[in-house]
Amino acid sequence: MYETFFGLQHLPFSSVPAPAQYMPFEAVSAARESIERAIDRGEGPALLVGPAGTGKTLLCQLVARRFEDEFTVAMLANSKLCTRRALLQNILFELNLPFRNMEEGELRLSLMDYLDPVSDGDRGLLLIVDEAHTFSTRLLEELRLITNLVRNGQPRVRLLLSGSGRLEELIADPQLESFQQRIAARCYLHALTRDEVIEYIQGQLAGAGATRRVFSEDAYQAVYEASDGIPRVVNQICDHTLLLASVGGVNDIQAAGIAEAWTDLQQLPAPWASDETQPAAEHFIEFGSLDDDNYGDLSESDGESLGVDLTEDEVETIASNDDVAADSIESNDFDAADFDWQTVETCLELIENGQEENCWTANATMNNAGDERGEFDSFSSLVSGPMTSLDDVEVLLHEALREQASRAPKHIECKKEEVTAEELDDSPESDDEMRHIIPLASDPFGGEFAKETVVYDPAETID
């Protein structure tokens, strides 16, 4: 349909395996050479493994054409066989021999009779099994038995098995150990590289008679990304792209044309990202309240809640130094983990109530300074000027407590005092002190037991 538009002699991209379109890439050529060597020398069965669409069937056809003049070729490619009888019937059908209304044993004898040499130039049978991964272990064992037939020191049946990766799993079955030992060649096919895809497309177009460029460089890249290098998918995409281009009157196919063909075939967006696609926005998760950076929204009432009297000038000073406080935090000069916030809060409440001398008692545990203290300087006397930030309050308080801790004794003597029951029973004299009295549980086995009285002793002799 599009051959005339692009000046081609025939369809360049076939939907079925065509030996005339064979491209001798490195992996395919190496596999072909190994298989042909194993068949020609009678070394043993050959194994061809590869993903779907990589050219296994095409390679089987090439091997069949290579040996069609030397062997009788039977290729099993169109049937999913379930029994040994069905397998033998298919082989006889390919050999144009009777196969109907015959039992399994009769089919096997008929095949053996055919394999007996009739002349010196008869080399026997080349049996090619495509889609061999659908076979069961019983059928693979039957194929091994067929290849055991030997005449004049030469095997009468040469075997080539082709299939997906599951074929190797079947061969690895312990029941097929004897068959696995006979395999002479293991060959693998894989997807094409980017350069091989470009060479393949150009080779197919040149073989069809193309005299000018049809695909642009970005179109080649798009074909490779869409097909993942699978030759069957390359054929499908390129054929459909040429069809749409001829309908639209496009002579030079770009990447957009490949994307259109892919979308039309799969009814899905193209699997590669276009150049105009913008990267997705990065997402970040931040912890803390939304106003963590706002240090200046303070008022005099905030100072009262902290136990500090703030004048209007001090509030303005704190608000004007927000950036300084933020910079100190970002530079790790201030670490909230270094502060005992519970102690600071308690001390601020004591200062508010005019009991700053009790700050030492609240902080004694943190400083491990004991229960004795020296004279505590008034906290308010330490504040000699206007505060620059609330952090200054914390710093000044800790400096005062640290200084007081240096005056305290470093060793603590603990005296054990006995508490009488009368002291425990005393009720609290005021509401400032609460005592919880928990009575001790009595020991049920602490007292003496009553003497046991024997009522009747069966061991005692009855007079």
**Which sequence spans correspond to the domains of the chain?**
26-188, 193-266, 300-407
The SS3 assignment for 47 reads strand
CATH number assigned to the domain covering 193-266: 1.10.8
Q: For 207-265, give the DSSP string.
A: HTT--S--B-HHHHHHHHHHHTT-HHHHHHHHHHHHHHHHHHT-SSB-HHHHHHHHHHH
211, with CB counted inside 10 A (0-12, 13-18, 19+), is exposed
Q: How would you write the pLDDT of the chain (463 residues) with one tens digit per residue?
A: 788 888 899 999 998 998 988 999 999 999 999 999 999 999 999 999 999 999 999 999 999 999 999 999 999 986 678 899 999 999 999 999 999 999 999 999 999 999 987 776 678 899 999 999 999 999 999 999 999 988 888 899 999 999 999 999 999 999 999 999 999 999 999 999 999 999 999 999 999 998 889 999 999 999 999 999 999 999 999 999 999 999 999 889 999 999 999 999 888 777 665 444 444 444 445 545 555 444 445 454 555 544 445 555 555 554 555 444 444 444 444 444 444 555 656 666 666 666 655 555 545 444 444 444 444 444 444 444 444 455 666 666 667 666 666 655 554 444 445 555 555 555 455 444 455 555 555 566 666 666 666 555 666 655 5
SS3 label, residue 171: helix
> What does the block give as tokens for 355?
């009991």
Residue position matching structure tokens 């060479």: 199
Same fold, 26-188 and 193-266: no
CA distance linking residue 34 with residue 51, whole number of Å: 19
The DSSP code sequence of 70-113 is TSEEEEE-S----SHHHHHHHHHHHTT---TT--HHHHHHHHHH
- Give yes or no for a contact between 388 and 324, defined as CB atoms under 8 angstroms apart: yes
Q: Cα 311 to the chain's mean position, in Å? A: 61
Q: What is the pTM of this model?
A: 0.58
* CATH number belonging to the domain at 26-188, selected among 3.40.50.300, 3.10.105.10, 3.30.420.40, 3.20.20.70: 3.40.50.300
